[in-house]
């Protein structure tokens, strides 16, 4: 578990700085997360993925980004989210293909395919929402009884630098 030492807003982004000293493991399995809209980052900081559905995790090599992604994946599993993992460098997360099957991809054409299919799936949801009697402004997936769909995209910059732009 990392201690949040500062929170700052810059140009529409919220930047959290975390301290790696005195780290402890955060165990998501002890939390009843099925009804929650957030994932605990530490004892004080929570990510409300329903209100803020996008996250960028950055840091220098060897500082635990992949382990943090594994924690997020475990947390999303606990809320029964559909998880899709993109690992263009075929590093640690590509191993999860053994668990998630076709929802883990590394090849550029498969990455483009999973992204297109997910957009299609989301658009189909929106069309279903509009047909519901309780459809309304400001509502989201949870208001209609759906579970979240999550894409974990490791090393986006590496993918963008290495792929033929026709694929994306």
Residue 64's nearest CA partner among 18, 16, 97 is 18
- Could you give the C-alpha distances from 108 to 81, 114, 155, 158, in angstroms and in order? 24, 10, 13, 11
- Which tens digits make up the pLDDT trace of 101-136? 999 999 989 999 999 999 999 999 999 999 999 999
pLDDT of residue 33: 54
Please indicate whether residue 30 or residue 122 has the higher confidence score (pLDDT): 122
Statement: residue 23 has pLDDT above 70 = no
E-strand ranges in the chain read 3-10, 13-19, 38-40, 46-48, 82-86, 104-105, 149-153
Please indicate whether residue 75 or residue 13 has the higher confidence score (pLDDT): 75
> What's this model's pTM, rounded to 2 decimal places?
0.74
């Amino acid at each position: 578990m990392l201690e949040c030492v500062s929170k700052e807003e810059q140009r529409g982004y919220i930047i959290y700085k975390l301290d790696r000293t005195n780290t402890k493991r955060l165990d998501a399995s002890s939390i009843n997360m099925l009804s929650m809209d957030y994932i605990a980052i530490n004892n004080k900081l929570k990510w409300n993925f329903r209100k803020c559905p996008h996250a960028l995790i950055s840091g220098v090599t060897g500082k635990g980004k992949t382990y943090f992604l594994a924690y997020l994946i475990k947390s999303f599993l606990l809320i029964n989210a559909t998880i899709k993992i993109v690992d263009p460098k075929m590093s640690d997360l590509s191993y999860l293909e053994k668990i998630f099957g076709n929802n883990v991809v590394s090849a550029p054409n498969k990455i483009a395919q999973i992204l297109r299919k997910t957009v299609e799936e989301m658009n189909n949801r929106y069309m279903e929402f509009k047909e519901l009697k309780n459809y309304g402004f400001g509502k989201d997936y949870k208001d209609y009884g759906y579970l979240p769909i999550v894409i974990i995209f490791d090393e986006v910059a590496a993918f963008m630098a290495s792929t033929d732009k026709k694929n994306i």
